[in-house]
Chains A and B, each alone.
Chain A
Amino acid sequence: MQIYVCVKHVPDSAANIHILDRDRIDENVAFLLNPYDEHAVAEAAALKKAFDGSEIIAVTLGKKDAEKTLRSAMAMGADRGILVETRESCDSMVTARALAAAIQKDGRADMILTGKESIDAEGMQTLFRIGALMDLPVLTNAVNLEMGEGTARVVCELSGGMTRTFDTPLPCVIGAGRGLNTPAYPTFPDVVKARKKPVDVIALEDLGIDTPPGSARITGLEPLVRERTPEAITGTPAEQAARIIDILKNEAKVVS
């Protein structure tokens, strides 16, 4: 199987985010492979074990530094990487066009895996756009994947443990959810090996993608802080419980 895994280089969720010029973030923070994409790479590695002769290609759109995230994906099992290099951040309509074009230029995908969302922009849509552009079925928040003959059975999670099970023909696009697998941390030899794996760098301009009929542009960023002034509820546990109920009833008005 030829498996493409779309990955994203994102700021660590524990990083302090500083806003510059009110519309971009200070990128001088730790970046890593988007956590949901780790599940996608781990699933690809499991598929490669099950299907002899498979190849895993990690694809990303990003600045030069995003090569590090490709190396992380390669340490987890990807055989090679493709970096579509850009100087500017792109919206998901451009990103999907770039990733689809890079995949189509490279080979024939039997499956495209990615995370169900990125933890930076949290747009939740690029995988669907890749599917629409390549005319492939898309499933998101996958928590189980079973391969058939040219098909896959995918269990997707809704909220509250509710799931839906789908049969899809291959190729298809699958967005990994957290329940899909438990990614193994790469060993030191894996990391060393990953340094020697090939990475193709293509400039976004050289992919010749068309201009999308719409766009999403960030016009403002502000720190999200809600000033709260904590007020202690004191007394015996019985008094404290009574005060909480009073707050729920009379201030928040959520309990009658």
Chain B
Amino acid sequence: MKKIGVLIEMENGGIKTANFGMITLAAKGNATLYALVMDDIGDNCAAALAQYGITTIVDLGLPPDPALCHNPDIRSRAAVAAVKELGLDGVFGLSTAEGRDLLPRVAALLDAPLVMDCVDVDLESNTGKTSQYSGKVMATIQLTGDIAVFGIRPNAVAAENAPVEAQSLSMNTGADLSSPLALVSRDAGQNDTAAASLAEADIIIAGGRGMKNGENFSLLFECAEKMGAAVGASRVAVDEGWVPYALQVGQTGEKVSPSVYMACGISGSIQHFAGMKTAKMIIAVNTDENAAMIANSDYYVLGDLFEILPELIKQL
């Protein structure tokens, strides 16, 4: 049986929901699962991990000083120490913004192969499936070597309950870690929760050229708040300065896999599809019946978003 370490990502003091789908994916490989925990988790969080099949919860023992424990270089060194000490055969982590700055560090320090942004993993053959070429191709990539590292796209796999008894293990990997990098500050940006959760959102409502200006995006934000959705944007909306770059979905923006992607006034360039074509359902609102977004949607409204959005806000 393979021993797999799952790097747990936290959010506002709790476990990010996307972790559970990742654990389910790892459990499908008939492996012994270790949760590698770098932050303070309470008993409730530990119990939640066991619900999905984690048998050992490993506290890596990072120093409490935020300048140290939030430094991705130190985090990766602690994870690598744990992987070696536990003799793990593989490491899973989320391909979130945090994960993109952590998993490649872990793989590089281990000198182990890595596939990022997997939508599926087969542990028996050590293969991962990930999209390439702006979302035009699905690649199956096989890793060889003693340790394989897989980055998992958030929401790609649905979480399934598989409760087990979990034991706790405390390690002291972080005691004498140092880094040439000094973390000077962390800035939450505009502290916009709709933006912060774009990559992991279950519903995304996005606007493009059809929004006409930045002020009109308030319609999307209002709608998003009522739906519990995150707001996204096309490159045009970002380049025009209507919304910050952080909201951009696409080739050079965020790549997302929500349950529902509602595209308002987005024609649907290849580069935009590169970031959202794996959405489970696409709803298009567009005045142009020839828009690629309509042709590639599950449902579409051929109409004016300035009529539909206020109605949605009213009825939600």
Contact = CB atoms under 8 A, between A and B. Distances in A.
Interface of A: 11, 13-14, 16-17, 19, 25, 35-36, 91-93, 96, 119-125, 127-129, 131-132, 137-141, 153, 156-169, 178-179, 212-224, 226, 228-233, 237-238, 240-242, 244-245, 247-248, 251-255
B114 A216 contact: yes
Interface of B: 70, 73, 96-98, 100-101, 103-105, 107-109, 111-117, 127, 130-148, 151, 179-190, 192, 195-199, 202-203, 227-228, 244-246, 251-252, 254, 259-260, 262, 270-271, 274, 277-278, 280-284, 294-304, 307-308, 311-312, 314-316
A244 B140 contact: no
Contact of B300 (A132, A169, A230): A230
Nearest to A256: B228
Contacts of A161: 188-190, 192, 195-196, 244, 246
19 contacts: A13-B133, A96-B108, A119-B133, A122-B116, A131-B108, A141-B101, A159-B195, A159-B197, A161-B188, A161-B244, A166-B184, A216-B115, A219-B142, A220-B140, A226-B278, A230-B284, A230-B299, A240-B308, A252-B259
Q: Which 3 pairs from chain A and chain B are nearest by CB?
A: A214-B145, A161-B189, A160-B196
Contacts of B147: 214
Contacts, number: 272
A229 B299 CA distance: 8
B137 A13 contact: no
Nearest to B140: A220
Given A159-B246, A232-B300, A247-B299, 11 more contacts: A14-B271, A137-B181, A160-B189, A162-B189, A164-B183, A167-B181, A212-B145, A214-B147, A218-B141, A230-B297, A252-B259
Nearest to B311: A241
B148 to A, nearest CB: 8
A169 B178 CA distance: 14
Given A162-B186, A219-B127, A35 B252 contact: yes
Contacts of B280: 252
B113 A91 contact: yes
Contacts of A252: 203, 259-260, 280-281
A17 B196 CA distance: 33
B105 A120 contact: no
B140 A218 contact: yes
A142 B307 CA distance: 40
Contacts of A156: 101
A179 B185 CA distance: 18
A120 B132 contact: yes
B44 to A, nearest CB: 23
Interface centre among B140, B251, B259 (most CB of A within 10 A): B140
A224 B135 contact: yes
A140 B192 CA distance: 22
A220 to B, nearest CB: 4
B113 A214 contact: yes
Contacts of A166: 181-184
